[in-house]
Chain A
C-alpha cells in the first residue's frame, strides 16, 4: 500500500460520517439527524501511530456518477485520497452497499464501518459481519460513531484495508448487492417500537399537521420561557453585582472621550446598561444579558428537534406550501437555522439543488427571517406591549415571506424540482452530543457575535462624535421620516443594522418610540439588509449578480411594506 496521508469518509447522507470525523480527529462539527447536515468538505487530522494523517469528511452521496454537486465533490476527492472509510448505515444495508461497490471499483483501499450497529438490534436486523467482510474482501467493523463504539477497531483496521478494481455495469452492481445482502442479512418480524409509532403519527396529515402546529407553538413558548427566566434569575442579578464596579470606573474616568467610549452617556446621572452605549456597559449587557439567554434557549430546543429527526418530517408536511413559494419542503431547514443566526442558515441553502431555489430561499431568509439575536432584543423592546406588538410584527414578516415567495415563484423562470428525499428515522438524542452541539453554537455566538457587538457600539460612538450620523440622517430623512414615519434619530440604528441587528434594535430603546414606530423599525431592520456577516456568505454562495438582485428586492420590499405599515397601523 502506498503511503497513507489522507483518509476520506464517504457514505450515503445521514449515516454518521460527521460523528466519525469528530471522533477520529477530535474536531467538533455540527452533527444532526437529517440528510445534508454537512454541506462543505471538513478537514482535520488524526494520529495514526506516530504520524498525523489528514481526515476529510465528504458530504453524503448516494452514488459516484457525477450528476449533482455533492457527487462531483465526492468523485473529485476520491482522486486525492489514499484510503476510504466507507460509512454504511447497517439498518439500510442494500441501499448503502451500492455506493460501496462503486468505491470498490475505484482502485483505492477501503474499510467499511457498519454504523448504527445498536439500531440493528432494535429493528430486528441481524447482519453477519464476518461473512460480509469475506464476501466484500475488505475489513468490516460494526460501529456506533456517536458513542465511540468501534472507533478504535476501525483505526486498527485501516492497515488491513484492501484495494479492488472491479468492473461492473449498473445492473451487475445491483445484482451483486442484492445477492450479498440476502446472504448476510436476516430480518426478524417484530412489533413496532414507540418511536416508530411516533414516526407514523407525525407524518400522516391528519395527526401530523396538528402535531406540527403544536410543536411550533411549544417551541416558541419554550424559548421565551427559558430566555426570560435566564435573564430574570441569572443575568440581571449578575449585572447588578457588576454595576458598582462600572459605576466606580465611571467616577474615576470623570468625563471626556474615554468615558464616552467605555461607559457611554449617563442617563439621569447613572449608568443604564441598555441605553448608555458604552463598551463596558451596553456593549456587554446586550450580548450577555439580553441576547445570549435566548440564543441558549433557541439552540437547546432546535438541537433537540434536529437530533430526534423531526425536521425532515416538518419539511414533508410543509412541502405543498413551500412549492407555491418556489422552494420545496427541505427549505424549511435553512429557515429554521436562520432563526438562530442567518449565517448558518445562508450556508445550508446548499441543500437545495437548483440555483433558482437557492436564490428564492436566500432572499426570503434575508428579508423575512430575523435572527435570534434580533428577536431577543425585539422581545425586550416590544414585549412590554403584550402579544399585540409582537403578533403584528411576526405576522407582517410571515406575510412578506409568503407573498414575496409567491411573486418570485411566479416571476422567475424555471420550476421547482419535485421533492425526493429520505426521511431520517427518529432517534433518541444522545445527550453528550446534544450538549456539545449547543456549546459549539454558543461558543460561535460568543466568539463571533460579541466582537461585532463591541465593534458596533464603538462605531456608534464614533459616528456620533464625528457627526457622520447627522450627515446620513439629513440625506435619508425624507424616506425614513416621510415614508416610514420614523423619527430622524432612528436612522443611526438603521446604519448600525448593517453590522449587528441586536445593537441596532437596542439603539431604538432610548428614542421613546410609540408601539407603531417600534413595529415599523423592527420590521424594517429585519428586511432592508441582512447583517454584513450573512451578506458575505450569501455573496459567496449566490454570486455578485444574484446578490445585487436580491439586495434590490430587499430595499424595494422594505420601503413598500414599511410604508404600508405606516399607513395602516
Chain B
C-alpha cells in the first residue's frame, strides 16, 4: 500500500518508494539523503498548511507540504491513518 508523506501518520516509519519529481527535485532531496529505498520517520506536521518534519538517519528535516506530497511511501495496510 502506497501513501504520500503528507498522508502518513505522525510517529510512523516508512520506506520511500517513489519520488514524484524531476532529476533536480530528486537531487535536492538526495542532498539530505532522502532517496528511494531509505526509511524515514514522520515526526510532526505543522497545522494550517505548515511544513512536515521528518527524521532520516540522524537528521531532522523540515519540508513543505508540496514536497511531502511528492514523496511516496510503502506502508503496510494497518498503518494508514
Question: What residues of chain A have their CB less than 8 Å away from a CB belonging to chain B?
Answer: 62-63, 65, 67, 91-92, 94-95, 98, 123, 125, 170, 174, 199-200, 203-205, 208, 312, 315-317, 319-320, 323, 328-329, 418-423, 425
CB neighbours of B10 from chain A (8 A): 204
| Beta-carbon contact of B46 and A316 below 8 Å | yes
| Beta-carbon contact of B60 and A422 below 8 Å | yes
* Contacts known (A203-B53, A329-B51); A420 close to B64, Cβ less than 8 A: yes
* Contacts known (A199-B60, A420-B61); A319 close to B27, Cβ less than 8 A: no
CB neighbours of A419 from chain B (8 A): 51, 62-64
* Contacts known (A62-B32, A174-B30); A423 close to B60, Cβ less than 8 A: yes
Known: A419-B51, A420-B28, A420-B67. 16 other contacts (CB 8 A): A67-B24, A91-B58, A123-B58, A125-B58, A204-B10, A204-B43, A205-B46, A320-B51, A329-B51, A419-B62, A420-B63, A421-B61, A421-B63, A422-B61, A423-B53, A425-B58
CB neighbours of A319 from chain B (8 A): 46, 50-51, 62, 64
* In the complex, residue of chain B having the shortest beta-carbon distance to the beta carbon of A418: B64
| Beta-carbon contact of B57 and A92 below 8 Å | yes
Interface size class of B (residues with CB under 8 A): 20 to 34
Docked Cα-Cα span, A92 to B59, in Å, equals: 7
CB neighbours of B60 from chain A (8 A): 199, 203, 422-423, 425
* Contacts known (A203-B60, A418-B63); A317 close to B32, Cβ less than 8 A: no
CB neighbours of A312 from chain B (8 A): 62
Question: What residues of chain B have their CB less than 8 Å away from a CB belonging to chain A?
Answer: 10, 24, 27-33, 35, 43-51, 53, 57-67
CB neighbours of A422 from chain B (8 A): 32, 59-62
CB neighbours of B24 from chain A (8 A): 67
Docked Cα-Cα span, A203 to B55, in Å, equals: 12
CB neighbours of A200 from chain B (8 A): 43
| Beta-carbon contact of A95 and B59 below 8 Å | yes
* In the complex, residue of chain A having the shortest beta-carbon distance to the beta carbon of B62: A316
| Beta-carbon contact of A65 and B33 below 8 Å | no
Docked Cα-Cα span, A62 to B32, in Å, equals: 8
Docked Cα-Cα span, A422 to B62, in Å, equals: 6
Report the minimal beta-carbon distance from B54 to chain A, rounded to whole angstroms. Answer: 10
CB neighbours of A174 from chain B (8 A): 30, 35
* Contacts known (A320-B47, A320-B51, A423-B53); A315 close to B62, Cβ less than 8 A: yes
| Beta-carbon contact of B27 and A65 below 8 Å | yes
| Beta-carbon contact of B58 and A320 below 8 Å | no
Report the minimal beta-carbon distance from B59 to chain A, rounded to whole angstroms. Answer: 5
Report the minimal beta-carbon distance from B40 to chain A, rounded to whole angstroms. Answer: 13
9 contacts between A and B (CB under 8 A): A95-B31, A98-B30, A316-B51, A319-B51, A418-B64, A418-B66, A420-B29, A421-B63, A423-B59
| Beta-carbon contact of B30 and A329 below 8 Å | no
| Beta-carbon contact of A205 and B47 below 8 Å | yes
Q: Specify which of B49, B60, B61 lies most central, judged by the most chain A CB atoms within 10 Å of its CB.
A: B60
The residue that B44 contacts in the complex, of A95, A204, A418, A425, with Cβ under 8 A, is: A204
Report the minimal beta-carbon distance from A544 to chain B, rounded to whole angstroms. Answer: 31
Docked Cα-Cα span, A422 to B53, in Å, equals: 10
* In the complex, residue of chain B having the shortest beta-carbon distance to the beta carbon of A199: B60
| Beta-carbon contact of A95 and B57 below 8 Å | yes
CB neighbours of A203 from chain B (8 A): 43-44, 53, 60
Report the minimal beta-carbon distance from B33 to chain A, rounded to whole angstroms. Answer: 4
CB neighbours of B47 from chain A (8 A): 205, 320
* In the complex, residue of chain A having the shortest beta-carbon distance to the beta carbon of B31: A62
CB neighbours of B64 from chain A (8 A): 319, 328, 418-420
CB neighbours of A418 from chain B (8 A): 51, 63-67
Docked Cα-Cα span, A356 to B70, in Å, equals: 25
Docked Cα-Cα span, A204 to B47, in Å, equals: 10
Docked Cα-Cα span, A323 to B33, in Å, equals: 25
Report the minimal beta-carbon distance from B12 to chain A, rounded to whole angstroms. Answer: 14
CB neighbours of A204 from chain B (8 A): 10, 43-44
* In the complex, residue of chain A having the shortest beta-carbon distance to the beta carbon of B48: A320
* In the complex, residue of chain B having the shortest beta-carbon distance to the beta carbon of A424: B60
* In the complex, residue of chain B having the shortest beta-carbon distance to the beta carbon of A96: B33
Docked Cα-Cα span, A199 to B60, in Å, equals: 10
Docked Cα-Cα span, A320 to B45, in Å, equals: 11
Q: Specify which of A203, A208, A329, A420 lies most central, judged by the most chain B CB atoms within 10 Å of its CB.
A: A420
Report the minimal beta-carbon distance from B63 to chain A, rounded to whole angstroms. Answer: 5
Report the minimal beta-carbon distance from B50 to chain A, rounded to whole angstroms. Answer: 4
CB neighbours of A317 from chain B (8 A): 46, 50
Report the minimal beta-carbon distance from B21 to chain A, rounded to whole angstroms. Answer: 11
* In the complex, residue of chain A having the shortest beta-carbon distance to the beta carbon of B54: A423
Docked Cα-Cα span, A419 to B66, in Å, equals: 9
